[in-house]
Structure 1
Amino acid sequence: MNKYDVIIIGGGPAGLFAAIMCAANQNKKIALLEKNKSCGRKLLMAGAGKCNITQAGDIEHFLTCYGTNAKFLKHALLSFQNKDLLDFFKQRGLEFMTTEKGKVFPKSLKSQDVLNILLDECKKRKVNICYETPVQSLVKEQELFYVQTSQGVYESPIVVVATGGLSYPHTGSTGEGLVWAKSFGHKIIPTKPALTPLKIKNYELSDMSGTSFEELPYTLWRNGKKIGSYQGDFLLTHTGVSGPGIINNSRFMQSGDVIKCNFVAAESIEEFRSNLTKKLNHGGKTLVKSIVRELNLTKRFADKVLELCEINDDLKCAELTKATRQKLLTTLTEYEMEVKELGGYHVAMVTTGGVSIKEISPKTMESKKVSNLYFIGEVLDIDGDTGGYNIQAAMSTAYIASQAINK
């Protein structure tokens, strides 16, 4: 029998950091069980392999970046802030850079450097990382947990579940933690991919793939009703739309929804339409394409708009029909795209849904149903925007759980 003071299941950033912090008490015997041959496989993918580890700015701003469940994270984020996270790595020799949009990366732009520090610290603190040890079952009898694995049974009075969500399943994230939580009576909020691009039905813009828009405003509609207004950087792909402006709000979207894009970023659509209508009505022999190309669009995209509206190169303003003008105005300010599907777990950065936070203490991450059982990171029903918010949440929840365990 493998007996430990604390067993942590899952070797992502939350699990590794929890192990390090729990092992700050040198008298504790800590085991980290990892199903893969190596830890941190999803961490290595963060920020396209460059590891966008957190976001600059104050924590109050952070609390606007976790959807409807942000309040649950307030204590964790205040207890272990972005500055604390960066200080931990700086004290171990890692330097950082911050982009104009506040994303923080290691100066080396290598995720491996972040992972190496976490692994080195585990080694220094004598954490026993058990690789290729998938957990088959987790039960509690009296005051002890029994963790059945492919390598035998592990025993501990304290278990921390840090198994992540369902995104990027090839990294080993397959949702076992949700199964164990359910077996202990926890409610599981239905999961779906989040931070994901969208595939568009009858997509007309595949030849515009790679075209991007800064701070593009758009609205979200469901069954003919507007359910949200958003703004953010926007990217056209071969099959649909992506970019932070879409990815960060994909948690609110579903198949069949319609997004209406304001490609000219008009603050007042009515005013823009009125002004452009006057210009076209008084344009006379001026070519319509000349007026459209004057708008705040790339020439390539302006020409695509003309193509969608079936406006020929030689069409003059005086020849523009009311119907074609209306189609042009709508295409520029409220171009409709119907969501065919969200990108699946294989492309989603995180999972929305998970262990219900109503049954978890926000001060300690301990289960309210089962004493000494902790849930941290993405296994919980929390998901942040893209930009370092999810790694910060993983490490902040790991920190307060370990502080509670070490008391």
Structure 2
Amino acid sequence: MRTRTRNAIGVVALASAVALILAGCSRGGGGTSSDSVAPSPGITETAITLGITTPMSGTTAGPGTCTVAGVTAYFGAKNAAGGVKFGDGKTRKVEIKPLDDGYDPQKAKANYDQLKDSVFAMTAGLGTPTNRAWREAAISDGVPQVLVMTGDPIFSDQKQSPWQLGFVPIYQNEGEAFGTLLATSGSEHKVAVLYQNDDYGKGYVEGFKKGIEGASNITIAEELSYEATDASVDGQLTQLAATGADVFFNAMSITPLVISSLNKAQSLGWTPNWFLPSNTSSPGGILQKANDVSVYPGIYSVAFTKAVQSPAFADDEDVKTFLSDLKAYADYPDTPAFPHCAWSYQVGATLEQAFEKMTSPTRDDFMKALRSISDFSAPLMLEGTAVDTTADGQPAVSTVFVQKYNGKGYATATSWE
């Protein structure tokens, strides 16, 4: 009897050992922690590493560099204060590994391949085509691709994949907000549309058309597209100007093309109201680099963050802390011209919320924690907006306000002016 008992105990012990080995070999495993939980790659008991692939050179380098600067500044300040306390009770420093993809999808995929085995998660990177380039690989590898800077709704669809989550409002939400404002203006408008011929541009147009659906006062005079690789859209501007439209819906992501479009329209004597997507509406990075934009009766965009360049927020504590952190920890001495610096700073704060909820050092537990955040007022958020990661089909931020440029910054537009 005793012999059988000892053998039974030995069998149980052997089975337990095999179970632990198998757990360590499961997807995302990377050794065992002191608590016998197999941590995913990129996390230790003292540090966690995040990867970013984003354009830090080329035509979108301005906003792309910001996607690194903001999150680096946020965690730089946290690291200087000792680190982030995770839900498992351990305090970790957060390390950022950024790589430049130049807004080239093939380079973005190569960057992901280089980073995937050494980082815990990928985050913050800018671009729809560049993020799409390695989305399927991330799903297959079980690597979180989260709080990325694309409004493509595919990144927030849990039914397609539990490994992705966008941060900024989807393009449809932005387009619809402007369309709704225009439709409720009480006056007739003729609209000319120019959109980037990809999911980015098409998403904005889809949302805009939803916003004006059933509105008898809105007519789309003409709708043209361009390729993101085009060096000029002068031909499209000339054709659209001939319509005499009083509103120009310009769903464009390429910074130099936005500036040249503003200038070309002026040279044609066409001065409509403009709508610009949030990522190409920067006062300092775009509007103030074009010719005198005061000739246009109104330039509209949407926002969910405080405009850090605006005098209205000069004494705001969030803004002052953000600018100080950006200078101290991201070597970014100037007030950023693009909102992406603020957005990625908010990404850092949202990631911290998830880290504080994690009870195991695994990617699975991280995604569960990340998907449980609701009504979180991240730094720099406008009143009335919040981070909510619990709604399937929506990114972390889904509420936006239409704003009108006033010569220095943007102010909320509650009605058509």
Higher relative helix content:
2
For normalisation by structure 1, the TM-score amounts to 0.26
For normalisation by structure 2, the TM-score amounts to 0.26
Higher relative strand content:
1
Q: Answer 1 or 2: higher relative contact order, Cα 8 Å, separation at least 6.
A: 1
